[in-house]
Amino acid sequence: MAEAERIIGTPDIPDAEGTEGDEAEGRGEETAPSRGKRKIMVLFGVAVFAYLLDLISKMIVVAKLEHHPPVEIIGDWLRLDAIRNAGAAFGIGEAFTIIFTFIAATVIVVIARLARKLYSLPWAIALGLLLGGALGNLTDRIFRAPGTFQGAVVDFIAPAHFAVFNLADSAIVCGGILIVILSFKGLDPDGTVHKD
């Protein structure tokens, strides 16, 4: 009887330990958790890149441009001019430095919590830009003069007829614009698309 079963074959019965995810991996398919992990890696990769770019640019600006005349890049249209900004992006609200520090910290916590439900690559990029920019300016708030949580942010990109800003501000604005576009398209962070 055992010999007959071996020759004919018995139907595959999944083990109690076997899961749908294991079967999908065996077929070379990507499971939802592995897709989520890849999107989280993209988010933090973009955030680290934006943060380091901002940090390095500010270090160079403080070392080479601060207390020196502005450097003209495109005539009067674009200059590099090192200033310290105690306010929010583009010099708004200089009397509320501690509040802006708290807001930046809150944004970072919210993005970190949202990352657990992230399955969309465009959202990962957008949130990574926001996270990197928020971390860049928060670093200034914590470690620069005049004191902890009251530090002035280093700004240096000075277009004509516009406020002076930095690469962290640029990352935040680009991330925000991308989020608005994704929201208009109906794409949610978890990868679902809804039509209103």
Query: Within 10 Å of residue 133's Cβ, how many Cβ atoms?
Result: 28
122: cis peptide before it, omega within 30°? no
**For the segment 29-56, what is each residue's pLDDT rounded down to a tens digit?**
567 667 778 999 999 999 999 999 999 9
- Which one is predicted more confidently, 19 or 39? 39
Q: Cα separation of 158 and 69, whole Å?
A: 13
Taking the complete model, does pTM exceed 0.85, yes or no? no
- The band of 194, judged by pLDDT with boundaries at 50, 70 and 90, is confident
Which residues are known to be catalytic? Answer: 155, 169
Q: Cα separation of 93 and 153, whole Å?
A: 13
Q: What is the mean pLDDT of the chain?
A: 82
Per-residue pLDDT for 5 more than 50?
Answer: no
